[in-house]
Structure 1
Amino acid sequence: MGKKKDLSAAEKSEIVQCLGRGMKTLDISRKLKRDHRTIKTFVADSVHRRVRADKGTLRKISARSMNRIKRAAAKIPLHSSKQIFEAAGASGVPRTSRCRVLKSLATVHRLSIWPPLTNAHKQKRLHWAKKYMKTNFQTVLFTAECCATLDGPEGCGWLVDGHPVPTRLQCQQGCGEVMFWAGIMGRELVGPFRVPEGVKITSAKYVEFLTDHFLPWYRNYAFCNKIIFMHDNAPSHAAKNTSASMAAMGIKGAKVMVWPPSSPDLNPIENLWSILKQKIYEGGRQFTSKQQLWEAIVTSCKQIEAQTVQKLTSSMDARLVKLLSNKGSYVKM
């Protein structure tokens, strides 16, 4: 008996929408006329990683290579798995294999921890997921501000177990930083646009920034009438003055996505910041001036491929499935 066809993109999208309406996997299988096990497997794979057939046994990594990797991780702490493996002379290893190996030697020291979610937060996140379940997320412009510092990210990367977090060299006049704004939609990276130095992002300044930088791009975009604008609930974004000013620009009603509180995990541009900072600070690079850092930001953004942006924006269906399965709790992508 031949193998049946895999679920199509349309079928997967329909499954996500049905889950958002509260349908059970058995009812979904009947509606799509597909085997119930196929539907359950898709939902499970969207939430959990598949269990390895070898139960996690490290393969194709000799003891000698493991020692080299461990020495490299100790020598260059708080670096990415790719940088550690390249330093150990083991380039070309897939990311999943690199992380699986490093988990036996080190832990990830993360930049920050998301605040705990209340039941009210979870309910609002679930309501958001159900509201936008049928949305074509390739037409959503995900935006956010990001801050980069002269002395590098604040300790984010792999750290060998038992080793202290190294102290980074700080600027004599305090840690200089560059604030910038960007957006992603489909395969496109919009920006980056630098926020003027010393400017506090109030509603008036945010509107002025959008008028000067975003609005020219928006008006020149061929399908601007189909764009859904997304920004988070920062005070400058949620202010009545901001909403009124954006409405005057033609960005109002259904063209503005209502964003749930405490939900950075749902915004794919947050993953872009991690990719971008790896490029900016590659090799432990630090900067001596804000202009030098800004030039590195612009150069690194140009190096991000359209396929990378597409992968991030295409992850929204999986994020919604995980969010519904986790009953509103944080999702990891």
Structure 2
Amino acid sequence: MHTKFPAAVIVIVVISSEGDVMPPQFFEEGVRINADGYIHVLETVVKPRVDMVAAGRDYLFQQDSAPAHKSRKTQAWLHSNMPYHWTPDLWPPSSPDCNPLDYYLWGVVEEKVNAKFHNTKDALRATITVVVLNVDRKEVKHACGRFRSRLERVVAANGGYIE
């Protein structure tokens, strides 16, 4: 059975170059993802997880160019609380070729999650959670290890799409 308006959820996941995968954090239904809502999740979920995984080591926090990510308020919070992050002026917009979540993780998750139909948002969330928690750490580490070579290929393509 297909539906004209399939269930959809908003989720955040953080991965590390060592292969660690944060359990998915779902935003409440109907919540508009603005700077305040995003900062709340950064403060209460993401930063504690990153600090635990980094265990005192330096790290680089990368995100995409979503409006809530690049807002002045979010950038000020990141500057004060997660100083090892790439600011929007260092990061090209719409750059899925340069983000391991985009060029690896979300494709794997979508393929496995979309292998079956989900009649409810709870079923969709449950499947996403199972899939994310079972992603192979070695594969995540390998995908993150390709980061530099992918950046070099984007530069060689003058910022164009790479395959």
Report matched runs for 1:169-188 at 5 Å. Answer: 169-170=2-3, 174-186=5-17, 187-188=19-20
Could you state the TM-score of these two structures normalised by the residue count of structure 1?
A: 0.45
Report deviation, 1:324: 2.6
The separation in 2 between residues aligned to 1:279 and 1:331, in whole angstroms, is: 24
Report matched runs for 1:113-128 at 5 Å. Answer: none
Partners of 1:218 and 1:224 within 8 A in 2: no
Question: Structure 1 residue 242 and structure 2 residue 74: aligned?
Answer: yes
The structure whose Rg is larger is 1
The separation in 1 between residues aligned to 2:54 and 2:71, in whole angstroms, is: 29
Unaligned segments of structure 2, at least 5 residues: none
> Secondary structure of 2:9's match?
strand
Question: Structure 1 residue 298 and structure 2 residue 129: aligned?
Answer: yes
Q: Given residue 279 of structure 1, which amino acid in structure 2 is its aligned partner? A: K
The separation in 2 between residues aligned to 1:297 and 1:203, in whole angstroms, is: 24
Paired residue total: 158
Higher relative contact order (CA 8 A, sep 6+): 2
The separation in 2 between residues aligned to 1:218 and 1:316, in whole angstroms, is: 19
The residue number in structure 2 matching 1:203 is 35
The residue number in structure 1 matching 2:47 is 215
The separation in 1 between residues aligned to 2:130 and 2:37, in whole angstroms, is: 26
Please list the CA deviations of residues 143-177 of structure 1 after superposition, one character each: whole Å capped at 9, or x if unmatched.
xxxxxxxxxxxxxxxxxxxxxxxxx7106xx4321
Partners of 2:7 and 2:119 within 8 A in 1: no
Partners of 1:266 and 1:331 within 8 A in 2: no
C-alpha distance 299-308 of structure 1, shift in aligned 2 (>3 A):
same
Could you state the TM-score of these two structures normalised by the residue count of structure 2?
A: 0.87
The separation in 2 between residues aligned to 1:246 and 1:320, in whole angstroms, is: 23
Partners of 2:23 and 2:133 within 8 A in 1: no
Please list the CA deviations of residues 165-204 of structure 1 after superposition, one character each: whole Å capped at 9, or x if unmatched.
xxx7106xx4321110012212111231111111111011
Report deviation, 1:222: 4.5
Identity of aligned residues (%): 24
Q: Given residue 67 of structure 2, which amino acid in structure 1 is its aligned partner? A: P
The residue number in structure 1 matching 2:109 is 276
C-alpha distance 308-226 of structure 1, shift in aligned 2 (>3 A):
same
The separation in 2 between residues aligned to 1:219 and 1:268, in whole angstroms, is: 20
The residue number in structure 1 matching 2:94 is 262
The residue number in structure 2 matching 1:328 is 159
Report matched runs for 1:137-148 at 5 Å. Answer: none
Report deviation, 1:230: 0.5
Please list the CA deviations of residues 102-144 of structure 1 after superposition, one character each: whole Å capped at 9, or x if unmatched.
xxxxxxxxxxxxxxxxxxxxxxxxxxxxxxxxxxxxxxxxxxx
The separation in 1 between residues aligned to 2:6 and 2:114, in whole angstroms, is: 15
The separation in 1 between residues aligned to 2:47 and 2:155, in whole angstroms, is: 35
The separation in 2 between residues aligned to 1:222 and 1:327, in whole angstroms, is: 33
The residue number in structure 1 matching 2:118 is 287
Partners of 2:7 and 2:124 within 8 A in 1: no
The separation in 2 between residues aligned to 1:263 and 1:327, in whole angstroms, is: 13
Please list the CA deviations of residues 270-309 of structure 1 after superposition, one character each: whole Å capped at 9, or x if unmatched.
1211111111122xx1011111111111111122111110
Report matched runs for 1:96-115 at 5 Å. Answer: none
> Secondary structure of 1:231's match?
coil
